[in-house]
Amino acid sequence: MRISELCDVSGVPLPSIKYYLREGLLPPGERTAANQADYGQQHVQRLKLVRALLEVGGLPVATAQRVIQAIDDDELPLTYVFGVAQYAISDGRVFDEVESGAGLETVDDLVDERGWTVSADNPGRFGAARVLDALDSLGHGHIAEYLPQYAEAAETIARADLATLGHHDDRADMAENVVVGTVLGDTLIQSLRRLAQENESNRRYPVGENQ
């Protein structure tokens, strides 16, 4: 199909499709002439993935490009794809200036307590440390007391995450599952947390007893 049809089918504005092509989010169509190219079903699918990562997952374009490259790179082991996807969501905010400090120590203690095996450069390590430091300086350090509960929940989530991979046979599908599960999974978990929060709040403070 031609680019205008791709536009019709996907609902994505044509200038945006051209933009994604320029940025490498979408592979170029097969050239049939100097000014003609042919797009297939895989382009429709890829476009869906791109829009999901951008709109639902909230990734910036440059980051989406990196995770898509990771999916497409057949040489990259799945564990690395996980790493790329994880880096993708922890967009820089995290890495900066968290080199030492009480937060990092608390995180490392937690990792030890739970017997987790993680590498020192896991972005979650710095992200969690950053949050703990911020909570402490804001006078809400007591929230850290509930770290074991949060960690317990994180384990449950991670087990489900890995279990979803069992539904695929080939690497390409699994890699896409990893990326989609990691990126959209974050949004899903946030959403479920909103629902569970309201429910728990209602349970503790039934209507009419609002303070």
Judged by CB under 7 A, does residue 2 bind DNA? yes
Judged by CB under 8 A, does residue 202 bind a copy of itself? yes
Rounded to whole angstroms, how far apart are CA atoms 165 and 181?
Answer: 9
Q: Which among 138, 137, 180 is positioned nearest to 48, based on CA atoms?
A: 180
Distant-in-sequence, close-in-space partners of 152: CB < 8 Å, separation ≥ 6 = none
* Mask for 100-139, x = binds a copy of itself (CB under 8 A): -------x---x--x-xxxx--xxxxxxx-xxx-xx-xxx
Decide which of a copy of itself, DNA, none touches 172; Cβ closer than 5 to 8 Å per partner kind: none
Tell me which stretch binds DNA (CB under 7 A): 31-39, 71-79, 118-126, 149-157. 31-39
190 CB burial (10 A radius; 0-12, 13-18, 19+): exposed
Decide which of a copy of itself, DNA, none touches 69; Cβ closer than 5 to 8 Å per partner kind: none
Judged by CB under 7 A, does residue 61 bind DNA? yes
Q: Which residue has the tokens 């997952």?
A: 57
Rounded to whole angstroms, how far apart are CA atoms 102 and 183?
Answer: 29
On whether the CB atoms of residues 27 and 41 are closer than 8 A, the answer is no
CB closer to DNA out of 17 and 70: 17
On whether the CB atoms of residues 21 and 7 are closer than 8 A, the answer is no
Total of chain residues touching DNA, rule CB under 7 A: 24
CB closer to DNA out of 30 and 198: 30
Total of chain residues touching a copy of itself, rule CB under 8 A: 91
Cα distances (angstroms) measured from residue 185 to each of 19, 57, 193: 26, 8, 12
The residue length of the chain stands at 211
Rounded to whole angstroms, how far apart are CA atoms 107 and 63?
Answer: 26
CB closer to DNA out of 24 and 141: 24
Binding residue for a copy of itself (CB under 8 A) from 90, 101, 104, 106? 90
Judged by CB under 7 A, does residue 40 bind DNA? no
* Mask for 15-44, x = binds a copy of itself (CB under 8 A): ------------------------------
- Interface contacts to DNA, rule CB under 7 A: 2-5, 13, 15-16, 18-19, 21-22, 28-29, 31-37, 54, 60-62
